A and B are shown apart, each in its own frame.
Chain A
Amino acid sequence: MSANHDGANLLEVRGLTKIFGTLTACDHIDLNIAKGEIHALLGENGAGKSTLVKMLFGSLEPNSGEIFWNGQAVRITSPGAAKKLGIGMVFQHFSLFEALTAAENIALSLDDGSPISSIAAKARALSYSYGLPLDPDSLVGDLSVGERQRIEIIRCLLQTPQLIILDEPTSVLTPQEADKLFETLERLRAEGKSILYISHRLEEVKRICDRATVLRHGKVVGHCNPREETAASLARMMVGNEVQAVVRAPVEGIETAQPLLEIRNLSRKPATPFSIPLKAISLNVRAGEVIGIAGVAGNGQGEFFESVSGEVSQQDATSVRIRGKDAGGLTITGRRLLGAAFVPEERLGHGAAPRMKLSENLLLSRHATDGKAFVGTGGMVKSGAVYAASQRIIEAMDVRKSAPDPEAAALSGGNLQKFIVGRELDRRPSVMVVNQPTWGVDAGAAAHIRQALIELSRSGSAVLVISQDLDELFEISDAIAVMHNGELSKPMPIAEATFEKVGLLMGGAEPGHAEHTLETA
């Protein structure tokens, strides 16, 4: 594409390339960002979005290519250099210090030597002027994810940047919090600031972005005006082909079906100062249905999953019942032997041992339930059978890999997730509990995993899915319950559920006051 020399471009990127070993993460990327526009950077996970913005923010050094800032060629060698130019970044991960206060966190990114108290005062004033109230003295570890993002935004604005990079900002917000963010972004645009908005949520890109650049496999595959596109056409550009829609057949006679997973009055004290207590959670998942649990990250979903899976066992044996048997006191293996299967949120180090082969990871999670098939006399492992089973899973889930039986860490996140979900599905469990089934998985694979979960339930299993992705939950669930601050709402049948209702519950509103709160949004 031709470089624009009319001076309206704040940032121009030409031929930017970054190579990691044999992988070309960014391949001759061209990108122009005009003054006062919200520019979307679209792409699947692994398309090179993060690598690109890390180069723009100076955390990574490009192998080749040029960056022009206000028409001048620049080299951005460090985040400090980026800040000096006027580039600010709102990170999604790893950028706040939990054990420090909001003001201390802000102070760390400002290079002037002004005392913390004056920074706190400035941050407070700025946050109120943008309608993002913030208490500078609060400890970050105590704040919700939405509040943490406010700190990031205020921290970024205090540096008076001309270009603000936002990396997947709404992935952790309730729909209402996201609306508030969009207002702020529109106000910043009106002030003449440019915004680079990274997302894979197409609806919101259509709503607020002026232009979009689409990446696929490290290359720019197109520029467009998202307002003139449909979500389906944008998805096609991102993925490269049509994404198969997930089919969810209605279930018959679910009212009389047997509950296979029963959770009764499950409570748990916080294990660390920053974790959430569970408050008297009750839920039944019946044979043949998928129940979704929505909620903003950090509202007790992790603690809930640990309690249900048996990573942390309960005092009260009746608080978790699997197929009619008390399982509260059992370990994860005991619960698996009752017919349950679990997929945790964290893939590496939790769902799989990173430096072990896929077949070994299979044996680790199923040595007890499939003892007869995998372990022979005298405790000898039947490696042939384990290997054959792992190949069966790899085939069934279409896991892409570089070696016949690679180490778990060698797989991309999405492919490893397919293997971990497939490993559990392969057992045909009667109870399946999954935390964030498709986090970081590309659209095609995500559709595959979702369809597999629905089919498992329709074949007579109880499926419980915890997810932050509302689109996903609406796609696969027969009923949605919402977790907020360690409490779980009653499951709402999918026919009655709307984004607004679920969003309000995610924000902690009482169901009865729903209409009232909507007025102000």
Chain B
Amino acid sequence: MDITVNILLTIATAATPLLIAAIGELVVERSGVLNLGVEGMMIMGAVGGFGAGYLTGSPWLGLLAAIVMGAVFSLLFAVMTLSLATNQVATGLSLTLLGLGLSGMIGTSFVGQPGVRLPNLDIPGLSSIPVVGKLLFGQDPVFYISIALTAAVMWFLFKTRTGLTLRSIGDSHASAHALGIKVIRYRYLSVIFGGACAGLAGGHLSLVYTPQWVENMTAGRGWIALALVVFASWRPWRVLAGAYIFGAVWIGQLHAQAFGIPVPSQMLSSLPYLATVVVLVLISRNKRLTMMNTPASLGQPFVPDR
């Protein structure tokens, strides 16, 4: 029983950074901006979070630093693509490359140093419920944030007027501009929100998942988060489902490898990707719904004529 609970706990820990980064990118893409720099913003968050935690001794300050780092780094992308109308794909890719290099440089002195870990937050009373209590109410703080964030983004996008405006910009920035909506301002805020989320996800890696600094420690999670958004057809609850499927199969195949199942390890390592894609493709079979949720102006630069 304990083993099962522990496995389930690790699944949540593996899924949390993916979920947070993907939810942030979902908001960005809903506003019509494609930021391929998630990986770069995430690794900057990881190094910033670790550094601040290591230097001050406070994991909470570390988490805050991770968020700020991601947001500031995304601002670079926002200025380039929104104010200077550069190509979003190229700018996003260079943001990732820059982030990977810069974080390695910043983190040289952190390699091999012991980090600080965010303590688990046991919710009194509830966390002592057998099995479920430990799973749902005895997790690290970022886990609660990720779930609350998903719910909040869902509510914001589909229940508030501001969320409607954001979606309308993603559908057609020219129409939105014609109505007098401040397209660029909304997009700036979305990109910064996405950056903060990616930073937080990176902070989770270096402050909770493996509390230390290793170069390239995001290991492609930013790219998975990007893919999740698309395969989840820009819908928050599907992103949540995708992140957890990925996390579950990931942990599952690690255990399978440990048991020595006679399947090539490369095969097993590819399973999480395969399973996530298959499941998300299956649930987005409704072409009409997918079309409706796809931001039509995604990736197109917008230059208002004055």
Query: A: which residues have CB within 8 A of B?
Result: 58-61, 78-80, 83, 91, 94-100, 104-105, 107-109, 113, 116, 139, 141, 272-274
Contacts and interface: CB of A to CB of B under 8 A. Distances in A.
A60 B306 contact: yes
Contact of A96 (B164, B175, B177): B175
B17 to A, nearest CB: 30
Given A97-B172, A99-B292, A100-B171, A60 B305 contact: yes
A381 B112 CA distance: 62
9 nearest interchain CB pairs?
A79-B180, A273-B288, A80-B180, A94-B174, A97-B171, A99-B292, A95-B175, A273-B291, A97-B168
B185 interface: no
Contact of B306 (A61, A94, A104, A274): A61
Interface in B42-90: none
Contacts of B263: none
A348 to B, nearest CB: 15
B22 interface: no
Given A97-B175, A273-B287, A273-B292, 7 more contacts: A83-B180, A97-B171, A98-B172, A99-B292, A99-B294, A104-B164, A141-B291
Contacts of B178: 59, 79, 91, 94-95
B300 interface: no
A79 B291 contact: no
A304 B51 CA distance: 62
A58 B291 contact: no
A109 B305 CA distance: 20
B180 A100 contact: no
Nearest to B167: A100
B179 interface: yes
Interface of B: 161, 164-165, 167-168, 171-172, 174-181, 287-288, 291-294, 296, 305-306
Contact of A78 (B171, B180, B291, B293): B180
A99 B164 contact: no
- Give the most central of A61, A108, A141, A273: most B CB within 10 Å: A108
A138 B208 CA distance: 47
Contacts of A91: 178
Contacts of A98: 171-172, 296
A99 B175 CA distance: 12
14 contacts: A59-B177, A60-B306, A79-B179, A80-B180, A91-B178, A94-B175, A98-B171, A99-B291, A100-B171, A109-B179, A139-B292, A273-B288, A273-B291, A273-B292
A58 B296 contact: no
A108 B305 contact: no
Contacts of A100: 164, 167-168, 171
B302 to A, nearest CB: 12
At the interface, is chain B mostly helix, strand, loop or mixed? helix
Contacts of B305: 59-60
B296 A99 contact: yes
Contacts of B167: 97, 99-100
Contacts of A273: 287-288, 291-292
Contacts of B294: 99
Contacts of A59: 177-178, 305
Nearest to B181: A108
Contacts of B293: 99
A131 B165 CA distance: 29
Nearest to A51: B305
B231 to A, nearest CB: 19
A58 B175 contact: no
Contacts of B292: 99, 139, 141, 273
Contacts of A116: 164
A99 B171 contact: yes
A108 B172 contact: no
A98 B181 CA distance: 17
Given A99-B171, A99-B296, A107 B161 contact: yes
A494 B165 CA distance: 49
B169 to A, nearest CB: 9
A33 to B, nearest CB: 21
Contacts of B171: 97-100
A247 to B, nearest CB: 41
A473 to B, nearest CB: 30
Contacts of A104: 164, 168
A139 B293 CA distance: 12
A108 B180 CA distance: 10
A88 to B, nearest CB: 11
A113 B161 contact: yes
B288 A108 contact: no
Contacts of A94: 172, 174-175, 178
A78 B176 CA distance: 12
- Give the most central of B165, B168, B306: most A CB within 10 Å: B168
A25 B252 CA distance: 66
A274 B180 contact: no
B287 to A, nearest CB: 6
- Give the most central of A59, A96, A97, A105: most B CB within 10 Å: A97
A272 B291 contact: yes
A107 B291 contact: no
Nearest to B292: A99
Nearest to A89: B178
Contacts of A274: 291
Contacts of B179: 79, 95, 108-109
- Give the most central of A60, A61, A96: most B CB within 10 Å: A96
A95 B287 CA distance: 24
Contacts of B174: 94
Contact of A108 (B164, B291, B296, B306): B164
Nearest to A94: B174
A78 B287 CA distance: 38
Contacts of A141: 291-292
- Give the most central of B174, B180, B288, B294: most A CB within 10 Å: B180
Contact of B165 (A79, A83, A108, A272): A108
A94 B167 CA distance: 15
B175 to A, nearest CB: 5
Nearest to A112: B161
A108 B172 CA distance: 13
Nearest to A113: B161
Given A78-B180, A97-B175, A108 B168 contact: yes
B191 to A, nearest CB: 21
A16 to B, nearest CB: 15
Contacts of B288: 273
Contacts of B172: 94, 97-98
Nearest to B293: A99
Contacts of B181: 108
A58 B174 CA distance: 14
